[in-house]
Structure 1
Amino acid sequence: MQLWLFLVIVIGGLLLFGVCCEVISRRRTKKRQKPPGTYDQVYMEQVLQNTRDQINQ
């Protein structure tokens, strides 16, 4: 019985640690993401246009 309790505590602790790391990681990535700038938007429009042109050839 004591071995099961030990295993439950260890596995639960690892899961809790993983959840905490995931939450912290997601918060950091949200802060770093910026909306696309004008250059990025123009670049993507050019890529899309080139793709359309290649498909329609």
Structure 2
Amino acid sequence: MHDALGVLRDAGYPVDQLSGPQQAVLAALSEQETTLLVAVHDRLRDAEGEVTAHDLKLL
């Protein structure tokens, strides 16, 4: 069975800080949706450069 929360946690998402309902939404993601979300997250992280000081992180 696909563990979307585990994959997202390993990718650096702060899933443990989300509310129960938010975690439930992410836990229900398909493997394809999870892979896409991680890929977008990686691209956003790469785009921010080497130094980012105290910015609000949405993803």
Q: TM-score range by the shorter chain?
A: 0.3 to 0.5
Task: Give the structure with the higher percent helix.
Answer: 1
TM-score (norm 1): 0.38
Q: Which has the larger radius of gyration?
A: 1
- Normalising by the residue count of structure 2, what TM-score does the alignment of the two structures yield? 0.37
